Amino acid sequence: MVRVIHLLPPDGLDDGTVRVRGWQADDLDALVAACQDPEIPRWTRVPSPYTHAIGRDFLTRASDPERLGADAAVAIVDPADGTLLGATGIHRVGAPWPDEDSDLLPDELGYWLAAAARGRGVATRAVRLVCDWAFTVVGRPTLWLQAKVGNDASVGVAERAGFTYVETRSEIECGATVGDLIVFRRDAP
Ligand SMILES: CC(C)(COP(=O)(O)OP(=O)(O)OC[C@H]1O[C@@H](n2cnc3c(N)ncnc32)[C@H](O)[C@@H]1OP(=O)(O)O)[C@@H](O)C(=O)NCCC(=O)NCCS
């Protein structure tokens, strides 16, 4: 199993407008508040209802490289005041390619933003930071991303962050729903 979260600099990665950093125990209240937005479980595998117990369990795993395993989960924050803006990261870093009908891909980007942080390029910036890190520091050759059909905001993030369309997979389980997923890839430069 590849454990990569320790390859993240202690202060995270920063482009001057957005910072991605490791999760901290005191992110709990902001995390739970953000995840009350039904748009997050609608399009992701984030559980709903999102309780403090679920958030606490996530933060415990996300700050412990042993328990986090092959995931690299990071918080997206405002570098000016530390406000939690969202979440991103790479699932299953370096995992073997799944069976043809598995819905889980290796090296798969995921992300969500708190409702108040949307519409100003935060997700695109955060995904670019994580991609650059994954290519140059972690050494991944290809990153993958899946968006449910109809999630135009996420497709926009994928395209602005340099991902290209691969295929649309039908009848894939994602969170509480089964539906069609658009697969994107981005290769290391
Ligand atoms: C998907 C999600 C993260 C996209 O958020 P977003 O704010 O639309 O995405 P970005 O951060 O890239 O911002 C893009 C918007 O900012 C605007 N923008 C402003 N400055 C920008 C900049 N410098 N760079 C990019 N976009 C910029 C864009 O025009 C765009 O606005 P528009 O949506 O009105 O066209 C968000 O909708 C969300 O959290 N949804 C729920 C969870 C989810 O769907 N997750 C993804 C699952 S695959």
pLDDT in tens, 11-54: 999 999 999 999 999 999 999 999 999 999 999 999 999 999 99
> Rounded to an integer, what is the distance from CA 31 to the centroid of its chain?
14
CA of 152 to the centre of ligand 1 (A): 9
pLDDT band of residue 99 (cuts 50, 70, 90) is low
**Ligand 1 atom nearest to CA at 160:** 25
Which atom of ligand 1 approaches the CA of 156 most closely?
Answer: 12
Q: How confident is the model at residue 33, as a pLDDT?
A: 98
Mapped onto helix, strand or coil, the DSSP state of residue 12 is coil
pLDDT greater than 60 at residue 1:
no
Ligand 1 atom closest to Cα of residue 145: 48
**Long-range contacts of range 90-96, CB-CB < 8 Å, 24 or more positions apart?**
90/4, 90/130, 90/134, 90/140, 90/143, 93/2, 93/4, 93/134, 93/138, 93/140, 94/2, 94/4, 94/70, 94/140, 95/2, 95/70
Give the mutation target among 43, 48, 88 for probing the ligand 1 site: most ligand atoms within 8 A of CB: 43
CA of 4 to the centre of ligand 1 (A): 27
Position 100 scores a pLDDT of 66
Q: d(Cα 17, Cα 124) in Å, to the nearest integer?
A: 11
Q: Where are the domains of the chain?
A: 5-141
Sheet holding 13-14, edge to edge: 13-14, 19-22, 72-77, 84-91, 108-113, 142-148, 177-187, 164-174
- Classify the C-alpha dihedral 65-67-72-78 as positive or negative: negative
Q: Looking at 2-16, 90-104, 137-151, 169-183, which range is the least confident one?
A: 90-104
10 Å CB burial of residue 25 (0-12, 13-18, 19+) is exposed
Q: What is the residue-averaged pLDDT of the chain? A: 93
Nearest CA to ligand 1 atom 27: 121
Q: Give, for ligand 1, the residue of 78, 111, 128, 182 to mutate: max count of ligand atoms closer than 8 Å to Cβ.
A: 111
Half-sphere exposure of 51 (CA within 13 A, CB side): 3
Cis, bond preceding 49 (omega within 30 deg of 0):
yes
Which CATH number does 5-141 carry?
3.40.630.30
Q: Which atom of ligand 1 is nearest to the CA of 126?
A: 11
